[in-house]
Structure 1
Amino acid sequence: MREIKVVDLFCGCGGMSLGFQNMGFDVVAAFDHWKPALDVYRDNFEHNVFECDLYDSSAETIVQDFNPDLIIGGPPCQDFSSAGLSNHSSDRAWLINRYVDCVEAAQPEYFVMENVPRARLRPVFKAAVSRLRSLGYGLSSHVLDASYCGVPQHRKRLFLVGAVGAEDGFLESYVAEHLSDTPMSLREYFGGALDTDYYFRVPTNYGRRGVFSVDEPSLTIRAVDRPIPPGYTGHPEDPVAIGPQVRTFTVLERSYIQTFPHSFKFKGTKTNLNMMIGNAVPVKLAEFVANALKQYINENHIEYVRIKTAS
């Protein structure tokens, strides 16, 4: 693959950047507005990192100056999430438009935008799709369960991938080719390294179970972490009762379930670490998408010339 310069918008602590970098893409710059995540990002990457409010219209100019071939990133998704506010008219939802503004300004050949699956049902997302099509991008939309993509975690995410001049659905065969037939369990990924057979995750209500086996994929890693509450008395579907053989995962274990490598350096308060880890794109899920796009580029690339708007 020829060198593909990448800019990561809303980079967080770097899950998307690391996944694409691992697949041979050249990440040249990253942007975010949350300093704790950026401090971690800077400790793990050598390229340009900007503490930048994407609401600021100057962001497009900075992105454009890097002349990226590919823009990646996940505009904050809390307002689209079933666990969030479900307020698609809020400022967070509006950040999708800012992502598209940067794509329009920089005119990359490709983009990858990540979000929660519910986002595709929202008017602001549908409007962004229409706008991206008007800019000349063919679009390929994929809702992926990370456990079928090399991640030991049930975590569904939406990836909207664009390529200039491509047919809609251009990435479908490349994605389907590498999806696993079965979900990946924690034991399959870690072997015995977690040193437990059962773990606890606080259910959203006590009508649901809270104890799970490592022979299943993990539930979605959340942006919060809670100990086993004294009020939890068990559930009929728990594989074992609460006891010494059941524990919660540590902050670092949660990062490993997000498929960050052990060499990745984390620092900060427990609250901030849980938030940045829980909000991150799993590294191997990013690798999965990057690999599909890499194959497409290798097989379909034609010379692309940006059409610059006269000033």
Structure 2
Amino acid sequence: MRAVDLFAGAGGFTVAAELAGAQVVWAANHWPEAVRTHEANHPETQHVCQDLRQADWTAVPAHDLLLASPACQGHSPARGKERPHHDATRATAFAIIDALDCHMPKAALIENVPAMMNWRLFNAWCGALNDLGYAVAPHVVDAADHGVPQHRERLMIVATRSKHPLQLHFDPKPHVPASSFIRFDQGDWTPVDRPGRAPSTLERVLNGRKSYGERFLMPYYGSGSGKTGRSLARPIGTITTRDRWAVVDGGRMRMLSKDENRAAMSFPTDYRLPAQHKLAVHMLGNAVPPLMAQDFIAAVAARI
């Protein structure tokens, strides 16, 4: 099965496709750094760096499956109040309509945040898919149920050239704990009680110790698990585009390393990332978890 990856980013969908036995023949993104990262890991794929709203879809190779993860920033509640540029980011989803209209592959998988379904043009967007002959089946899933060591709720839209929507059902896999990827012998540790540490941080550390002992996770900026910390025996919370999670080990603490962020997203351990920590974390926070997407791609491939 041949696939293309739109808004490919770091390459989570492409990794998933390869794990599922598909060949990704073309991948595109507007961000040069993301394209370089994707190309370093998938040199056999044809790459394009372009705003996909201006793409020439006739130049894209023939394919059976379209994979796409359009911008989610305009939908995500984490972005706060509505801003003028959100309309532009949401509009990237219409590039998918143009791509499908040109090639009419058997199926498409589109990933986004569940809040995409609240978009005022969501029904019109789905209607355009229907007009092209695609039946649309939205699925809201937690990546942790697919073997990803992270609770990450996402919308996976399955569009197939079929009479009826393809509703997929998966038996939840055992949850993989955060302890599977935390490395206490690595990283840049600092004393919890160092001068200048914010009182709110110290409060979260104290509460975490009361609940989980000497070793636990906590949101460094107070979101997610609030002021209580988070057990290492459960999946971590959502990985975002900026450093969010801190590891506490007795009297020392540090932020997650980029390698730990990569593992939390279920990328292979040898997957190449940018050398700059901030850049790598940003890409990973925007990525599709490969193990979650692999289940969907394999299920769709078996039915088309």
Q: Same fold (TM over 0.5)?
A: yes
SS of 1:90's equivalent in the other structure is helix
Instruction: Give matches, 1:204-219, under 5 Å.
Output: 204=222, 208-209=226-227, 211-219=229-237
Contact 2:248/2:254 (CA < 8 Å) preserved in 1? no
Partner of 2:153: 156
Which amino acid counterpart does residue 115 of structure 2 have in structure 1? R
Instruction: Give matches, 1:63-212, under 5 Å.
Output: 63=60, 66-85=61-80, 86=82, 90-168=87-165, 170-172=166-168, 175-176=169-170, 178-180=171-173, 183-187=175-179, 189-190=180-181, 197-204=215-222, 208-209=226-227, 211-212=229-230
SS of 2:159's equivalent in the other structure is strand
Note the alpha carbon deviations across 1:199-239, whole angstroms, 9 max, x for none. 232244599226322101100001001586xxxxxxxxxxx
Aligned residues: CA RMSD? 2.5
Contact 1:13/1:40 (CA < 8 Å) preserved in 2? yes
How many aligned residue pairs are there?
Answer: 273
TM-score normalised to structure 2 length: 0.82
Contact 2:64/2:106 (CA < 8 Å) preserved in 1? yes
Contact 1:148/1:179 (CA < 8 Å) preserved in 2? yes
Could you say if the C-alpha distance between residues 204 and 101 of structure 1 is closer, same or farther in structure 2, counting changes exceeding 3 Å? Answer: farther
Q: Deviation at 1:115? A: 0.5
Q: Where do 5+ consecutive residues of structure 2 fail to align?
A: 186-213
For residues 224 and 117 of structure 1, what CA distance do their matches in structure 2 show? Answer: 20
Contact 1:140/1:162 (CA < 8 Å) preserved in 2? yes
SS of 2:56's equivalent in the other structure is helix
Q: Deviation at 1:60? A: 2.1
Note the alpha carbon deviations across 1:117-166, whole angstroms, 9 max, x for none. 00012122221101101111112210110011110101011011111124
Q: Deviation at 1:242? A: 7.8
Partner of 1:264: 271
Contact 1:8/1:29 (CA < 8 Å) preserved in 2? yes
Note the alpha carbon deviations across 1:31-83, whole angstroms, 9 max, x for none. 00111111111110021111111121x332223xx111111011010110011
For residues 150 and 224 of structure 2, what CA distance do their matches in structure 1 show? Answer: 22
1:50 to 39, 48, 51: 48
Contact 1:71/1:110 (CA < 8 Å) preserved in 2? yes
For residues 127 and 150 of structure 2, what CA distance do their matches in structure 1 show? Answer: 32
TM-score normalised to structure 1 length: 0.80
For residues 83 and 102 of structure 1, what CA distance do their matches in structure 2 show? Answer: 29
SS of 2:160's equivalent in the other structure is strand
SS of 1:260's equivalent in the other structure is coil
SS of 2:293's equivalent in the other structure is helix
Could you say if the C-alpha distance between residues 23 and 242 of structure 1 is closer, same or farther in structure 2, counting changes exceeding 3 Å? Answer: closer
Note the alpha carbon deviations across 1:231-251, whole angstroms, 9 max, x for none. xxxxxxxxx988435432111
Could you say if the C-alpha distance between residues 76 and 268 of structure 1 is closer, same or farther in structure 2, counting changes exceeding 3 Å? Answer: farther
Which amino acid counterpart does residue 68 of structure 1 have in structure 2? H
Q: Where do 5+ consecutive residues of structure 1 fail to align?
A: 229-239, 298-311
1:40 to 37, 40, 44: 37
For residues 225 and 153 of structure 2, what CA distance do their matches in structure 1 show? Answer: 23
Which amino acid counterpart does residue 49 of structure 1 have in structure 2? H
For residues 139 and 121 of structure 1, what CA distance do their matches in structure 2 show? Answer: 16
Could you say if the C-alpha distance between residues 21 and 227 of structure 1 is closer, same or farther in structure 2, counting changes exceeding 3 Å? Answer: closer
Partner of 1:294: 301
Note the alpha carbon deviations across 1:7-29, whole angstroms, 9 max, x for none. 10000010011001111011101
